[in-house]
Structure 1
Amino acid sequence: MKNLIGFTLGCLFTFLCLDITPLQAQDAAVNDLIITGIVKNKDSRKKLENVNVSIVGTNIGTVTNADGTFSLKVTEAEAFRGVEVSHIGYLNTHLSLDELGKREDLTIWMIPAPNLLNEIVIYGNNPRTIVEEAIKKIPVNYASSENMLTAFYRETVQKRRRYISVSEAVMDVYKTSYDRRDTEQDKVQLQKGRRLLSQKGGDTLAVKVVGGPNLSLYLDIVKNGDALLSMDNLNYYEFRMEEPVNLDNRMQYVISFRPRVNLMYALFIGKLYIDRERLTFTRADFSLDMANRVKAVEAILHKKPLGLRFRPQEVSYLVTYKQQDSKTYLNYIQNVIRFKCDWKKKLFSSSYTAYSEMVVTDRKEHAFSNISNKNAFKQKQVFYDLVDEYWNEDFWKSYNIIEPTESLEHAVDKLKKQSR
């Protein structure tokens, strides 16, 4: 039997270990159009990662992968609305149906946005005051009613540069109103999932992530008041105003934060992005403070075999939100855990990377059935152990997903050959 290391992705709480109960997969109706392309910086010609690509006036969307590519499956009626492309630090780009249909190898060029400062200076540019005011406005700026999100989730583990496991799913995410900043009633259920595992004899250490898909619950730092953005938690950090940036053609405050006190558990270092006019949290980019490795281990390690030494190198998070009409909604979450493991009495260690990401591909407000407790994820379950070992070209059909990178596609091919 392979040894097991479990990780709590929501390392804001060491006890976030969630159960996953798969439902019967139900394929959506086949869509009419598949819009594919690559997004690049017009000045540097570099490929852009994590770019929002959505159908104008709808909740349908996805993000680009690390290669800058995307694929969006929509009906012809939805495509008629056109596509909106947005990314931090760039001007939004809009493409009509005619522009989308001109050629198959679509390249979207994004123009870097100038950091034009507004004449209005709010709250004397006191960074902590801005964060406090943004927290107070959460009930106004975010959903005041329940929502059901459709989300795509992918989880990979690499040993050095080689993938040893890949698992992914489409899931339903039920969220209550943001008026109450807690996740007690929020739930996640699996619609459809698949996985691949390395069969190489040298991969004797199986690395598994505990509660991965529940990123959408516990790392939604705006909804989860205990995670980071509470008035009490603000006392643990010092804040600094950074250069503003453009996002969705709107100027954003950029406020960095780092620990100002020494607690019994690890804190965070990062940046908050806040809409200058609406005072809405639009993005959070942060990582676990690694100054005390013992605290860092306590924050993320769930279980390990005797004799194994675990040394974390990086634990980082990216959470983004997207405005639609007068409200702002959860859009994308990314988590990276890098660490080294070695056995006592052995000379060399191995480097591992546990990576996960989730993107909201659709959203419904009202008029839906809640997730039952029976089908919702419960405690101390591992997503990887509960999905089917099933991998083929037509698996996702009309579901919108995050396109795999070229490196991941090659890795999947190799893992599929091992499984035969």
Structure 2
Amino acid sequence: MLSDNGYILRRIQAILLITLLTLWNDAKGQESILDSLYTFRAGMVKTGSALNLITRQTGYNFTYDSRLIDPERRVNMTFRNTSLKSILDTILQNDSLVYNIIDKYLIISRYIPLPVVKTDSIIPFKTEYITGTIVDSETGEPLPFATVGLKNTGKGTVTNASGEFGLNILSEWLNDTLSISYLGYLAREIPVRQTPGNNFTIRMRREFISIPEIIIRTQIPQEIIFKSVSAISRNYGNTPALLTGFYREGVMKKQELQNYSEAIIRIYKSPYTGSLLGDQIKILKSRKIENIDRTDTLAVRLKAGLSTCLELDGVKNTFDFISRESMPEYKYIITDIVSFDEESAYVIDFEQREGVDQPLYRGSVYINTYDFAILHADFELHPKYISKMKSSFISSSSRGFDTWPQTVKYSVSYRKFNNRYFLNHVRGDLIFTSKQKRKLFNSQFNVFFELAITEMDTENIARFEREELAPIHSVFSRTITSYDSEFWENQDFLRPEENLLQALKNMEVRLQEFSEQQDF
């Protein structure tokens, strides 16, 4: 139930006009407080007293790990027209400390340098396909859908559900830096010169932000969401962009793959605000594999997967749970503040209120604490009411079968590049159960679709011609007529997970390209 209601969209545009100026002033204040100039004439005082003097004059309260600062150490609190950051650096005398602002709190924490992957030699290359696996440094568990990109270009990808990634590197990117980010973890940066030919494991260290409970409890989640909506124009841009992406979709019955389609696509991304134009998609190349024969009593196909990926850009199309119109039907709670790259994000959980018997979403949305950009959202249709959405997901049921959705889950993320956020990754996982009348057993189908953006461009962007447009509301697999074994060439794509890889290899099409992808 995405918020495509025209009335809701008009209300959101009105909110932008009313509150954008207020949010911009708030953000500007947070940015400038550390650069503001202050004068103190207290002389020699204890460090704890010095911080109290700063709090009284600035209105900002301090929070920090007591192991980082000795409040009894005496310091000279005499400054004239000195920036707050310089004052803190002087009285704390610790180069490893960093300062972050969250509302009226100034958080002092220890700077942790980014670890660097070491290598003994640099391998010259023109084009190289690098692969790796992103895992938790403590548990070794893979991190699905982590963002992997080149720091100074719009080139990038995401890891698959098994934490694996692959990326084509050209010689002109030799001096760039590979950046890896994942919510709740310290970011990693690796010089591109050290990556070619390395099927390496990248270990990400979880970062726990020591935030007093009072900071979380005093925040109002609805106000944070209002600020995020108001900041859309500033964060996501008001000019079009050209995105290149990899799209795939498939249907599995038990552990057998019935059909699998994939494509390299271009997306004309219309401005997030101030434009009535919609997004467009054109297919650069596509292929499919089918594993359906006459012995199958029921076949399932996915319809409108491409258009659903565009619709799930909830910043542009307004997620139902951030719509001011729908918010009274939800309850919200801030459950955590987690790190992301060098910043942090509010974690806001949401669920429909008791007494609301229409199927709504439940899940979590992650909002940057500094610029209020929506970074990520994981959500699902409430299982208690999902049966009411049967007609929304099943366009035509086979005669003699009753089919209904069991779970419908979505994941959407955004990536920041050149101070602008772009759609980064969309994933949908749906489970359906089908039962033939007068039969005892059910059949379960797992349907998935996924879009990973691999390149972004904002220069000289033009809309596509009508004849170039993909039929995004159709059954995508039916628009593809063949399977091309030389499909990928130098294109970026999501590496198949082990279960999908095995399913592909179990089919009649056994291709060398899939065998090679097992060797990491």
Aligned-partner residue type, residue 147 of structure 1: A
Counterpart code for 2:187: N
The correspondence for 1:411, drawn from 503, 513, 517, is: 503
Of the three residues 121, 127, 135, the one matched with 1:40 is 135
Name the SS for the 1:49 alignment partner.
coil
Is this contact kept in 2: 1:208–1:382, CA < 8 A? yes
2:189 is equivalent to residue 97 of structure 1: no
Alignment partners' CA distance in 1, 2:322 and 2:234 = 16
Q: Which has the larger radius of gyration?
A: 2
Take 1:395 and 1:369, find their aligned partners in 2: how far apart are those partners?
Answer: 27
> In terms of mean alpha carbon deviation, does 184-193 or 275-284 score higher?
184-193
Given that 1:215 and 1:333 are in contact with CA atoms closer than 8 Å, whether structure 2 keeps it comes out as no
Change (3 A) 1:318 1:226: closer
Taking a change above 3 Å as real, the CA distance of residues 387 and 31 of structure 1, as seen in their structure-2 partners, is: farther
Q: CA deviation at 1:378?
A: 4.3
1:59 is displaced (CA, Å) by 0.7
Distance change >3 Å, CA 196–CA 204, structure 1 → 2 = farther
Q: Where in structure 2 are there 5+ consecutive unaligned residues?
A: 6-124, 512-520
* 2:344 is the counterpart of 1:251: yes
Residues 201-234 of structure 1: CA deviation (Å, up to 9, x unaligned): 4333221111111233200000013754321122
Name the counterpart of 2:466.
373
1:133 aligns with 2:227: yes
Aligned residues: 392
| Shift in alpha-carbon separation, 1:13–1:160, aligned structure 2, 3 A | farther
CA shift in 2, pair 1:264/1:380, >3 Å? farther
Cα shift readout 1:321-340 (whole Å, capped 9, x = no counterpart): 11123211110000000011
Structure 2 letter corresponding to 1:150: T
Letter of the 1:218 counterpart: E
Q: Structure 2 residue aligned with 1:398, among 478, 485, 490?
A: 490
TM-score w.r.t. the length of structure 1 is 0.87
Structure 2 length normalisation: TM-score?
0.71
The 2-side partners of 1:88 and 1:58 are apart by: 21
Change (3 A) 1:311 1:199: closer
- Bigger shift: residues 148-157 or 245-254: 245-254
1:313–1:260: structure 2 CA closer, same or farther, 3 Å change rule? same
Amino acid at match of 1:55: L
Aligned equivalents of 1:235, 1:180: Cα separation in 2: 27
Residue 61 to residue 418, structure 1, CA distance change in 2 (3 Å): closer
Choose the corresponding residue for 1:72, options 159, 163, 167.
167
Distance 1:336 1:308 in 2: 22
CA contact (8 A) 1:181 1:225 kept: no
Report what 2:252 is aligned to: 158
Partner of 2:391: 298
Deviates more, 1:335-344 or 1:201-210: 201-210
Contact (CA 8 Å) 2:306, 2:472: kept in 1 or not? no
Q: Which residue number corresponds to residue 303 of structure 2?
A: 210
Taking every aligned residue pair, what percent have the same amino acid on both sides? Answer: 26
Match of 2:452 in 1: 359
Displacement after TM superposition at 1:293 (Å): 4.0
**CA positional deviation for 1:181:** 7.7
Question: C-alpha distance in 2, partners of 1:274/1:70?
Answer: 25
Contact map agreement 1:309 1:342 (CA 8 A) in 2: yes
Quick check: 265-274 or 122-131, which moved more?
122-131
Q: Does 1:236 align with 2:329?
A: yes
Task: Give the match's secondary structure for 1:206.
Answer: coil
CA contact (8 A) 2:164 2:495 kept: yes
Q: Is the 8 A contact 2:250 2:257 kept in 1?
A: yes
- Provide, for residues 70-121 of structure 1, a one-character-per-residue CA deviation record: whole Å limited to 9, x for no partner: 11012111142021111111111111134214x6331111111122338995
Name the CA shift for 1:189/1:229 in 2 (closer, same or farther; >3 Å).
farther
Distance 2:159 2:441 in 1: 36
Who is 1:317 aligned against?
410
2:216/2:336 contact within 8 Å kept: no
Equivalent in the alignment of 2:365: 272
CA-CA distance at 1:260 after TM superposition: 2.0
Aligned Cα root-mean-square deviation (Å): 2.6
For residues 134 and 73 of structure 1, the distance between their equivalents in structure 2, rounded to whole angstroms, comes to 34
CA distance 1:379–1:364, shift in 2 (3 Å): closer
Task: Tell me whether 227-236 or 128-137 shows the greater mean CA deviation.
Answer: 227-236
Which one-letter code corresponds to 2:335 in the other structure? E
Q: Confirm whether residue 260 of structure 1 aligns to residue 365 of structure 2.
A: no
With over 3 angstroms needed to count, the CA separation of the structure-2 counterparts of 1:303 and 1:11, relative to structure 1, is farther
Structure 1 partner of 2:148? 53
SS class of match (2:222)? helix
Partner residue, 2:75: none
Q: Which amino acid aligns with 1:84?
A: S
Once the two structures are overlaid, the 10-residue window that deviates more, 409-418 or 359-368, is 409-418
Separation in structure 1 between the aligned mates of residue 400 and residue 140 of structure 2, nearest angstrom: 48
- Deviation string 1:303-355 (CA, Å, 9 cap, x unpaired) is 21232111321000000011123211110000000011011111111011001
Cα distance between partner residues in 2 of 1:298 and 1:258: 22
Higher helix share: 2
Q: Which string of whole-angstrom CA distances, capped at 9 and with x for unpartnered residues, describes residues 231-252 of structure 1?
A: 1122221111111212223211
